[in-house]
Amino acid sequence: MLTRRHIISTRDFTKEEIDYILSRAEELEIYAQGLGKGAGRKSDLLEGKILANLFYEPSTRTRLSFEVAMKRLGGDVINVSSPDTSSAAKGENLVDTIRVVSKYCDIIALRHPKEGASRMAASFSSVPVINAGDGAGQHPTQTLLDLYTLKKANLLDKLKIALIGDLKYGRTAHSLAYALSLYGAKLFFVSPEALKMPEEIKMDLKEAGADIFESIDIKEVIKDVNVLYLTRIQRERFPDPAEYNKVAGTYRITTDLIKENAEVVILHPLPKIDEIDAEVDQTKNAQYFIQAFYGIPVRMAVLSILLER
């Protein structure tokens, strides 16, 4: 079903395929544990396999969780963690890099600042390519771990979720909105006017039957949702720094705000800057650190499925 396929966009998945990946993640989560009952356990499922992490943009969680996932499954990893440390610094184009690196490994995770880079890379690779984020485009494995987090919290069905912040450039919001439309979620888009969800994405979602509500004010929606999904407003995506400065710091989640909905779950793909008050980290509502951990079993699932193990 998914074996040897490239993973470029959440739009490439059916709901059944997503459910299959999430089920595999549950099976493998025991091997992802660094502490507790799974501590020290390691699988040999991908022994002898090599993952190439090609990251042309900064990353902490995505790159490290791909590496940990592969090693927890008994495989190995080769890394390019910055274009400055690769032949890209000498002028080598991405196509040539992919043609060469795909001969060195069994699977590639690629992060690149240009939207569409992963789909282009896939057309030249002799091994599966996983899009680990392409500019303002898609981030499918982030979406899978977001869905897994919601599933573990028993929130994936009958979900009412507010996607908040940078919805124009935010690839995590784009990917997640498409996937949630498969689950019948009610989507609340909260953003400054300048950072609204792109019209073409909203049209696609509505054609898929998604129920969408838009606002510029968190307080208008907080009592109507069971999940707040925050995204940072990304300085690096703005062509004009002055435009960034106009919207920076627009939204901030505080303990006073969440008193209006004491059961609301707060998610964030991280890194968070100033959009969530530090006091919120200590509340039961804050689920973004366990969300980050779930990147390991989900990426273990993806790697094992694509590599036929």
| Positions marked catalytic | 61-62, 90, 111, 139
Helix or strand holding residue 295 (H, E): helix 295-306
In terms of DSSP bridges, do strands 265-267 and 186-190 run parallel, antiparallel, or are they unpaired? unpaired
Residue in this structure with the two tokens 């507010």, named with its chain if needed:
162
107 forms beta bridges with: 51
For tokens 């400054």, name the residue.
192
Cis before 198? omega within 30: no
- Beta-carbon contacts of 239 under 8 Å, excluding residues fewer than 6 positions away, are none
| 38 neighbors 54 (Cβ within 8 angstroms) | no
SS3 6: coil
Do 249 and 274 touch, CB atoms closer than 8 A?
Answer: yes
End-to-end CA distance of the chain: 13
Q: What is the dihedral of CA 220, 149, 33, 38, to 10 degrees?
A: 120
Q: How many Cβ atoms sit within 10 Å of the Cβ of residue 208?
A: 13
15/30 Cα distance (integer angstroms)? 24
Residue with tokens 């094992």: 304
Rounded CA separation 214/193 (Å): 10
For residue 71, give both structure tokens: 């090693």
The answer to whether the beta carbons of residues 210 and 185 sit under 8 Å apart is: yes
